[in-house]
Structure 1
Amino acid sequence: MNLISLIGAVEIGLVFALVALGVYISFRVLDFPDLTVDGSFPLGAAVAAAMISGGINPITGTLAAIVAGCLAGIVTAWLNIRFGILHLLAGILTMTALFSVNLRIMGRPNIPLMNQPTVIDLFAWLRPLVEASGLPGRPTLKVLALLIIVSVVGALLARFLTSEFGLAMRATGANPRMAQAQGIPTEMHTYIGVAMANGLVALAGALFAQTAGFADVTVGTGTAIAGLAAVILGETIFRTRSIVIGIFSCVFGAIAYRIAIALALNTGWLGLQSSDLNLVTAVLVAMALILPKVANPMRSLLKRSAT
């Protein structure tokens, strides 16, 4: 794998780090399995691309994408809480509806964003640093810009989840009955948590459209699996109950996951092609799930032999 491929893998890994953070909120913090992300990711890309191509400021377009993602999450939570629809089914219903919504927003299946202003242009002040490093200019600038954005979002999320409101949200996911007994409005926290999760995923979609140079209605396929894979991989490497380390593990897992995929697809002797992406994803997720269970019996065996 050459340098350009590595930088590209890190770039897409940073984008999907935001997806991983969204999945972390819904799956881990709230214990709310949510498949809406397969629709909210292209929703964010569609809103941002439609607004930017229409001459609207990219910051406004990105913020609008976040709001749209939050609204999608609220719809899923509403279907679950108000009508008792199973989490997964509520997410599937919203995701299915969003496909048509995204087509309506875009007006066509694909919107190119080549030569359009993006949020990456706000980080032009980093260009001298990139040029001094001798690394490829535009790709490296995008990586640094995404790294700053992900770091800020991760820090804000860590601060939120360690606040009193965030602790109440975590209690809602850990034990809703006990949380209700303590006077915590669990339904409100579920609404806010699912909205935040999908807002982060929509932000990732908006950034993906601006870094990749296009938005397409099909870019959300497999987003939930990719986000969950990043979370599982990060948790496998960093086994901790700390929220701060947990958030860092999601970011690290997303980058490591994308680098692993790039290595697998660029290794000639494996004979893999770009069409094998889903196969590689399934294998990586399975390995991340299996390895901790394989390690535990070995640890128990060592303890027995020591005694």
Structure 2
Amino acid sequence: MLSDIAFYGAVETGLIYGLVAFGIYISFRVLDFPDLTVDGSFPLGAAVAAVLIIEGMNPWLATGFAMIAGMAAGSVTALLNVKLGILNLLASILTMIALYSVNLRVMGRPNVALLSEDTVLTPWYELGLAYHQVPVLLFAIVAIVGLVLLWRFMKSETGLAMRATGANARMARAQGIATGAIIVLGVALSNGLVGLAGALFAQSQGAADVTMGVGVIVIGLASLIGGEAVITPSTVLKALIACLVGAILYRLAIAFALNAEFIGLKAQDLNLITAVLVTLAIVLPGARKTIRARFARKRA
């Protein structure tokens, strides 16, 4: 069984990665735009927030600038694709590679510590809650607000145009939708959410590191696919809830696997666990349909 600290820590991290899953949902599911920029925009958000907080800026304002930085990174990827005609996957790889150097430039060194600085969490520790419960409360509020705003956006005229662009870009252009601008907006919004997640993660962990974005795309996809295996994404709202639920379940599964002594897994097995969970999330929905079909045939 998980201890209280391990449980709350997994939920805390899951809520942060829920924002990453929201971003990946926009790029992969809505726009059908495979985007690896997130591995660079996540540490970019962390780096921008950490440096600005150290310079004395209000933590929430610094977090806002981190989100803007993530949007800028996403815009570069989209413009490489839309304006220069570079394949979307290759464009995102190019941006991701460039962001490694950008992140080093922003921080001036490989990592920046925030242990002695005020963060967005600092005022919340005065509520009287246990130390490990405070981040869960704050990040739950942020995640729910983000979910509601994103859901409302997807129901707006611009959101519908974005969904139409992802479903059939040629038809969308025929209806007068500026698909190029929509793609730039969508990928920017996606990476803005990832940058926000990076900023919150850095403040939660007490440091920003240039390597903290490694594997974020895999975690986001695992959350997205795992959530869709649990909650059928028949509507936008259900799809967004699935992203959040999938991220939390993913982190709980990781925490359980690493803390279960009878399994014998260690921290270096994290990537193996992730691969197994993603495989199960992909295979289980199909297996479930096959089993249901067999039961239906037997009853018939």
TM-score category of the 2 structures, normalised to the smaller one: over 0.9
Q: 1:139 aligns with which of 132, 136, 157?
A: 132
Aligned residue identity for 1:291: L
Q: Over residues 215-248 of structure 1, what are the superposed CA-to-partner deviations in whole Å (9 max), with x where a residue is unaligned?
A: 0000000000100100001111111321111111
Moved more, 201-210 or 52-61: 52-61
Report whether the alignment pairs 1:46 with 2:39. Answer: no
CA–CA distance in 2 between the matches of 1:296 and 1:59? 45
In structure 1, the residue matched to 2:270 is 277
In structure 1, the residue matched to 2:222 is 229
CA–CA distance in 1 between the matches of 2:47 and 2:233? 36
CA–CA distance in 2 between the matches of 1:3 and 1:36? 34
CA shift, 1:115, in A, is 2.1
SS of the equivalent of 2:132 reads helix
In structure 2, the residue matched to 1:104 is 105
CA RMSD of aligned residues (A): 1.0
CA–CA distance in 2 between the matches of 1:70 and 1:240? 26
Q: Over residues 34-54 of structure 1, what are the superposed CA-to-partner deviations in whole Å (9 max), with x where a residue is unaligned?
A: 000000000000000011111
SS of the equivalent of 1:83 reads coil
Give ranges in structure 2 of 5+ residues lacking alignment: none
Matches within 5 A, 1:154-303: 154-303=147-296
Matches within 5 A, 1:92-131: 92-124=93-125, 127-128=127-128, 130=129
Q: Does the 8 Å contact 2:226/2:246 carry over to 1?
A: yes
In structure 2, the residue matched to 1:18 is 19
Name the % identity.
54
Q: Does the 8 Å contact 2:53/2:117 carry over to 1?
A: yes
Q: Over residues 157-202 of structure 1, what are the superposed CA-to-partner deviations in whole Å (9 max), with x where a residue is unaligned?
A: 0000011110110010011111111111111110000000000000
CA–CA distance in 1 between the matches of 2:15 and 2:290? 34
Cα gap change, 1:124 to 1:272, in 2 (>3 Å): closer
Q: Over residues 84-137 of structure 1, what are the superposed CA-to-partner deviations in whole Å (9 max), with x where a residue is unaligned?
A: 211111111000000000000000001000021111234356x14x2xxxxxx2
Cα gap change, 1:266 to 1:191, in 2 (>3 Å): same
Moved over 2 A (4+): 121-125
CA–CA distance in 1 between the matches of 2:195 and 2:78? 16
CA–CA distance in 1 between the matches of 2:45 and 2:123? 19
Aligned residue identity for 2:10: A
Tell me the matched-pair count.
299
CA–CA distance in 1 between the matches of 2:251 and 2:285? 21
CA–CA distance in 1 between the matches of 2:16 and 2:135? 10
Aligned residue identity for 2:50: A
In structure 2, the residue matched to 1:75 is 76
Aligned residue identity for 1:52: I
SS of the equivalent of 2:180 reads helix
Report whether the alignment pairs 1:60 with 2:57. Answer: no
Q: Does the 8 Å contact 2:125/2:131 carry over to 1?
A: no
Aligned residue identity for 2:24: V
Moved more, 52-61 or 217-226: 52-61
In structure 2, the residue matched to 1:2 is 3
SS of the equivalent of 2:291 reads helix
CA–CA distance in 1 between the matches of 2:8 and 2:121? 16
